[in-house]
Amino acid sequence: MKRKRVQWSKEPGEAPDFSDWRITLAKKGKPNQSSQTVQKGTSSLAVTFYVHRNLLGTQSEYFNRVFKLSNSVAVFSNNDDGRTDLSSSSGGAFSESKTQHSFIDLPSTISDKSFGLIKKAFEALLHYCYLENFDLNGTSLSPIPLLFLCDYFQMEDDFESQVIIYSENLIKEMASPTKLHLLYADVIEFRAAGLNVERAQTLISRECSLDKILLLRWTQLAVIADLPLWLNVVFFINNPLKSCSKYWSESVANFLVNNNKSSAIDSNSFQRLTDENVLPYVDANAALVLLKEEQKYGCPEAPFSDDSDSKLPKLTNLQERCVESLIEEELEPNNGKEYREKLRQRATETMYSLPHVMGTYLNRTLDSYGEERTTLSQQIEAKTDRLKKVEDKLKTDKEKYRAQIEAKKDRLKKVETKLKTEKVKYCALNTSLQEQQNNDQERRGFFSTVIKFLGITAVVAVAPKDIFYNCINDKL
């Protein structure tokens, strides 16, 4: 890469030429750590960078504002000791002093590993400001601190675009059941420390919504997934196919049961997780979990049925979907499948505490039997009608074929009669021909005698009849 005339550096290295500002990253409230210790760069969790205001200020709105404020009398700070708390929602500006030194305090709850990730991301940010044609690809940086610093320092559009593309590609590469949880673990830690991870969480959530396998109950991501992640994921899900919806219902049910109370789920978040646009179809096992969980979060009760003959209240939208799922499973006894027998027992236990759900389920099951009986009767009638039509057609075809056979028999009889007549004619003709042959034989014998008597040669005897007669006339 082609370098610009000046570079940044960090302690314990020397300050580069023309450096006019220092920036120190350190963990907030680290025991036995004073401002003097941080300034000397002797702390293992503190690092000081030497920078140039003209390079950072032109590419970061945040630095631009800070450096301009440093030239004024007013000093903006979130803390009394002149340090900036990076976990603040607004962040404020860097605090400046006569020594032109800014301190960025990271929360004390952040791990050493995460501190190292932020330091590397900040160094990449400095590289971008100082180097031409800087490319994030191949850097193996975590996208979590990159996206955080990009938002916090309000970097220019080109750097922001690079960070987003790099983050999207890396998250896609790691979007597998064995890898994606590694990134989201950083998101959880950053958020717990009060750092903004909204953009990173959104990218991960969108990737999860595209592949339902990533949040199945046996994955590591499902184990650490929290409410913010799930709320983002369901935001991207909209009317999935039936098979996909059932997968999602199982994953949501697993989260509700196994979130270890780490997520403050309330009525509103529960309804968002189980909304009909997210879960239009519910797996039967998940239905039993959702029926129980719905009672925990104080979801509004449905009004009573408009049917004057029914004293049961209407089902909630979620209960409707759960009941339909259970009816589809055909949980009646003795259906020949063991797993359905176990599911039926669980369903009975669950619906025992929900009489209106149990009543609706039983009524609809009986109705479904009646409907099935009606359907079967209609099918039998339809098949009977089709059978009668087939029989009528067979009868018609039989009569038709019988008439055709009779006609062919008549034609065959006529042919036999004609053959018989022709045979008689043939016999008479054959007799006549035989008589003619006999007559010809007698004539040949007579002529042979005449020839011998007259002395005519054999050649003349076989000559044409006119020559033969001419020869006889000549002899006479």
Does the structure show a pLDDT above 60 at 459? no
d(CA 169, CA 183): 13
Q: pLDDT tens digits, residue range 266-278?
A: 999 999 999 999 9
With cut-offs at 50, 70 and 90, classify the pLDDT of residue 16: confident
pLDDT higher for 6 or 246? 246
Check residue 103 and give its pLDDT.
Answer: 84
Contact residues for 375 (Cβ-Cβ < 8 A; gap 6+) = none
Q: SS3 of 362, please?
A: helix
Share of the chain above pLDDT 70, in %: 79
Instruction: Give the tens place of pLDDT for each residue, 410-452.
Output: 999 999 999 999 888 899 888 888 888 888 888 888 888 877 8
Is residue 315 classed as helix, strand or coil in its secondary structure? coil
Residue 119 confidence (pLDDT) above 90: yes
Exposure pattern of 200-230 as b/e (b: 16+ CB <10 Å)? bbebbbebbbeebebbbeebbbbeebbbbbb
The three-state secondary structure class of 132 is: coil
Average pLDDT, the chain: 82
At 19, the pLDDT band (50, 70, 90 cuts) reads: confident
Determine the pLDDT at residue 225: 94
Task: Please give the residue that has the higher pLDDT: either 155 or 4.
Answer: 155
CA distance 146 to 171: 13
pLDDT band at residue 76 using 50, 70 and 90 as cut-offs: very low
Euclidean distance between CA atoms 460 and 462, whole angstroms: 5
Q: Find the helix or strand (DSSP H, E) in which 10 lies.
A: strand 9-10
Q: Which of 1-10, 118-127, 425-434 has the highest mean pLDDT?
A: 118-127
pLDDT digits (tens, 9 = 90+) for 145-166: 999 999 999 999 999 999 999 9
Amino acid at site 263 = S
Q: Per mean pLDDT, which range of 152-156, 212-216, 243-247, 442-446 is the poorest?
A: 442-446
CB 104 within 8 A of CB 119: no
Give the residue-averaged pLDDT of 166-180: 95
CA distance 226 to 299: 21
- Whole-number Å distance between alpha carbons of 273 and 253: 10
Span of 131-140, 234-243, 458-467 with lowest mean pLDDT: 458-467
Q: For residue 40, give Cα distances in angstroms to 14, 22, 101, 340.
A: 12, 12, 12, 70
At 116, the pLDDT band (50, 70, 90 cuts) reads: very high
Mention every residue, 6+ apart, whose C-beta is less than 8 A from residue 365.
327, 332
* Segment 297-354, tens digit of pLDDT: 866 555 545 554 556 678 999 999 999 999 888 776 665 567 778 888 888 888 888 8
> Cβ contacts of residue 200 below 8 Å, gap of 6+?
143, 144, 147, 148, 167, 183, 187, 190
Model confidence at 31, pLDDT cuts 50, 70, 90, reads very low
User: If pLDDT is split at 50, 70 and 90, which confidence band does 75 have?
Assistant: very low
Question: CA 289, CA 291: separation in Å to the nearest integer?
Answer: 5
